[in-house]
Amino acid sequence: MIDENGFIKPDAEETEQLDISTIAEGSVTPEAPPDVQGYGTPLPKTFPRTLSQSEGRFPPAVSAYDAPIPPSQPAAKPSNPGRVFLVWGLIIGLLLGSVLGGILGNYVVMSNPGTFPWARTVSTTYPGTTSSGITIVTTEEQAVENAVKIASPAVVQINITSVSQNPFGFSYGQQEGLGSGFIITSDGYVLTNNHVVENATKITVVLKDGREFRGQVVGTDATSDVAVVKISGTNLPTVELGDSSTLSVGQKVIAIGNPYGLSQTVTTGVISALERNVQASQTETLVGVVQTDAAINPGNSGGPLVDLSGRVVGMNTMIYQNAQGLGFSVSVNTVRKVYDAIIKNGKVTWPALGIQGATLTTSIVDQYNLKASQGVYVVQITSGSGAEVAGLKAGDVITAIDDKPMTTIDGVLGYIRSKNVGDTVQVVVDRSGSTKTFAVTLKALGQ
């Protein structure tokens, strides 16, 4: 009989013949069986070794006892190919599901930027590439960062010293001011606002890398509030001029400048409106400016308004005081026109139609019993102007110029400013219910 430790346990009959007194602690000394007929020579008394902790092994088996029978091993189960295929199928299915789910989720997020604004993407062609080149798609945040990296090295701070004058025109001291500007040629032509450098006796241009240059005014234009300044340098960082005619309301833009002397300040916003005419002073009206809600403050004047490609689309020029989100920039197409004229002729001459007018309203229609319902009411004709020579009269309603509908006075001024002195335009008017067309040759503003 086998006990719980795997040794053979004697049967009850054999146990009765053991002398308990002869059992030492930790060992069992069996009594030799009596001589029994038929069994042969009696077994000698043996004293098997006890298990020693230092030796770490069991005593040898007692003679005449069989070795313990090891427990039987369970029989191997036959493999199940169907279950293997099922497990691998589940693993592959999970992997494919994860990949397809990621692709579908990415598509849903990128297709719904209004729901997921952090995933809004833009397609941008950067300076130095062509429109037929590779389209670069980035998140809006990355596009802003890239545009700033492209444009900011060319943005400068302009420190000026000017002579202060009292209301009687007498000088009584000097005052200092600052503004912003941007370099457009590697040999040092800088664009800024006219009001930044007006009456300046000393101009210092400070680059982003800290270099300072003395600046000289090449030419200014108070009508557009644009000035050209030259510094002496080579291989200077530049920024590319864009095209403001391609802008759209809601488009993301970035203002870079030095408000209150905080150099290289970046603010972002959108284009709030286009082709605004803003009264800059009692005598000057800025025509066709870009309105933006990007933060503009004193010191930003003359700095660039750039799109997400890093190209200049406007020159920041003014804000409405005590208002928020009402900033205005001279359109880059106007800036380019002024720069080209100053470099070529040293001055700018703007074309004029030769009228004073107002956008047609219901009250004007009722007051003057007009037939037209939309257009620009001609209040007065300038003496000696192209309009007078062509035959326009006060009381006419301008409805179109060069086949372009005209519904506001801002539209008329903006279109005429896009022309040059000496150009001829076809002006369509409503005169007492009759449609008439006049060929008007544009003369210089103020002539």
Could you give the residue numbers annotated as active site? 195, 225, 301
For the chain, the farthest-separated pair of C-alpha atoms sits apart, in whole angstroms, at: 162
Do the beta carbons of residue 149 and residue 158 sit within 8 Å? no
- CA of 423: how far to CAs of 352, 426, 427, in Å? 10, 10, 13
Check residue 221 and report its DSSP letter. E
Name which of 190, 200, 191, 264 is nearest 233 in CA terms.
190
- Look at residue 200 and give its three-state secondary structure: strand
Helices (H) and strands (E) in the chain, counts: 8, 22
Between CA 409 and CA 390 the distance in angstroms is: 19
Q: Is 421 exposed, middle or buried (0-12, 13-18, 19+ CB in 10 A)?
A: middle
Cα distance between residue 273 and residue 293, in whole Å: 10
DSSP for 18-34, please give it: --GGGPPTT---PPPPP
C-alpha torsion sign, points 197, 190, 286, 336? positive
**Six-digit token string for 283:** 């005598």
Cα(282)–Cα(293) distance, integer angstroms:
25
Cα angle for residues 25, 49, 4 (degrees, 5° grid): 70
Q: Quote the radius of gyration of the chain (alpha carbons, Å).
A: 48
Amino acid at 391: G
Asked if residues 284 and 223 have their Cβ atoms less than 8 Å apart, the reply is yes
